[in-house]
């Protein structure tokens, strides 16, 4: 396949095949029987527990990245391979399978060749055509968490929606596409992306709406020098090797203060705390608590999504998980786009949503 070539995908039927799985089969599976995204691999083992039937066997899968997972249920395995839609010098766009709200859906994914298995963005394709995007629902819960900033802005501004939004970091553009193409079509979105190849792939294969303007420059430079005032700023940027989310320079009080200089504005930052970045969450906790008394954190393992509100009204500091859920439900289109977060806020409220000033990290 030549780089830069677009592949027209055939119509497909997606369904799980719990029976007839054999050793050596190329499949896709959901790790730990619960992850929504299916990953490609090969069946390398099959185990029958004492007293169980053949259909209740569990399987061992070796994924394409070399990881091995055992005790996978047949219901977590499908025989439907991924399709590479396009690949450039550093970026790959492919179509895969995901389980969303109990339904198998086709999802378009963007990732860097340097970090296989780490997806920058995921956009659902329509249930009636694999070539038509579905902006009404975000497939990844960490992306849903970032859009909670829309609810916080409405909460702090008497029900108004943000009219001018900045995304520092574009990826495939699923989150700005959902915001500008579905939740708030009247808003203007500036997406700051340093990679022209990522920008090109997002425009062509993720169907960004016309009210999303891509600005090709360094996101840190934009946030520290540009004088534009935004209602909502979402920082979701990683380094070239996908090791630091965000890179160290972004974890600075001045960045948050500039993002919150407009009264009533909201700043959102996606932070990943891993073995290589154990102090990231502690630093984010400190800078958000310094910049805003009305600061919150949504924990979507392994990510922490931080929120700061520029208003300092006392009632803005009292938004508990149940209150946040009511705010989201009062905005029907937002509620449709973030069902996973609504479910988590109802079933695991104390683990999902906390005020930053009350966090112990």
Per-residue pLDDT tens over the stretch 106-116:
999 998 888 87
Q: Establish if 178 belongs to a structural domain.
A: yes
Residue numbers of the domain that contains 322: 141-358
Query: Among candidates 99, 37, 32, 34, which has minimal Cα distance to 68?
Result: 32
Domain count within the chain: 3
Q: Are residues 52 and 118 in the same domain?
A: no
Regarding whether 186 and 146 lie in a shared domain, the answer is yes
For residues 31 and 166, membership in a common domain is answered with: no
- Mean pLDDT value of segment 95-112: 88
Say yes or no: 174 and 301 in one domain: yes
Do 280 and 239 touch, CB atoms closer than 8 A? Answer: no
pLDDT at 295: 95
Q: What are phi and psi of 177, to 5 degrees?
A: -65, -40
- When pLDDT is averaged across residues 235-261 and rounded to a whole number, the result is 88
Q: What would the pLDDT profile of 60-91 be if each residue is shown by its tens digit?
A: 999 988 899 999 988 888 887 788 999 999 99
In a domain, 110, yes or no: yes
Tens-place pLDDT, residues 289-300 = 999 989 999 999
In sequence order, the β-bridge partners of residue 144 are none
Let me know whether 208 and 253 are in one domain: yes
Q: 16 in a domain, yes or no?
A: no
- Which residues are registered as beta bridge partners of 357? none
User: CA 84, 118, 247, 353 torsion: positive or negative?
Assistant: positive
Q: Are residues 91 and 227 in the same domain?
A: no
At 17 the pLDDT is: 43
Contact in structure between 146 and 270 (CB atoms under 8 Å): yes
Q: What is the pTM of this model?
A: 0.88
């Amino acid at each position: 396949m030549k780089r830069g070539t677009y592949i027209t995908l055939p119509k497909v039927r997606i369904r799980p095949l719990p029976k007839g799985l054999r050793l050596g089969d190329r499949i896709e599976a959901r790790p730990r029987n619960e992850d929504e995204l299916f990953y490609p691999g090969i069946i390398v083992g099959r185990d029958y527990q004492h007293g169980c039937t053949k259909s209740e066997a569990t399987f061992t899968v070796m994924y394409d990245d070399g990881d091995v997972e055992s005790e996978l249920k047949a219901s977590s395995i499908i025989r439907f391979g991924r399709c590479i839609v396009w690949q450039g010098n550093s970026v790959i766009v492919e179509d895969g399978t995901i389980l969303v709200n109990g339904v198998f859906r086709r999802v378009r994914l963007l990732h860097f060749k340097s970090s296989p298995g780490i997806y920058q963005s995921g956009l659902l394709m329509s249930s009636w055509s694999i070539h038509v995007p579905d902006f009404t629902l975000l497939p990844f819960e960490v992306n849903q968490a970032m859009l909670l900033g829309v609810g916080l802005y409405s909460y702090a501004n008497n029900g108004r929606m943000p009219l001018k939004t900045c995304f520092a970091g574009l990826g495939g553009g699923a989150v700005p596409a959902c915001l500008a193409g579905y939740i708030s079509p009247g808003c203007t979105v500036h997406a700051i992306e340093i990679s022209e190849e990522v920008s090109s792939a997002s425009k062509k294969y993720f169907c960004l709406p016309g009210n999303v303007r891509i600005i090709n420059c360094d996101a840190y430079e934009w946030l520290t020098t540009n004088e534009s005032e935004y209602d909502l700023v979402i920082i979701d940027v990683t380094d070239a090797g996908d090791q630091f989310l965000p890179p160290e320079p972004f974890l600075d009080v001045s960045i948050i203060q500039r993002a919150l200089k407009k009264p009533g504005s909201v700043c959102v930052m996606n932070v990943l705390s891993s073995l290589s970045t154990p102090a990231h969450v502690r630093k984010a906790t400190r800078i958000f608590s310094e910049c805003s008394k009305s600061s919150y954190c949504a924990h979507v393992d392994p990510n922490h999504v931080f929120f700061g509100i520029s208003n300092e009204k006392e009632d803005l500091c009292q938004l508990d998980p149940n209150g946040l859920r009511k705010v989201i439900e009062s905005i029907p289109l937002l509620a449709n786009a973030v069902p996973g977060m609504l479910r988590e806020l109802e079933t695991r409220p104390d683990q999902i949503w906390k005020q930053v000033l009350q966090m112990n990290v």
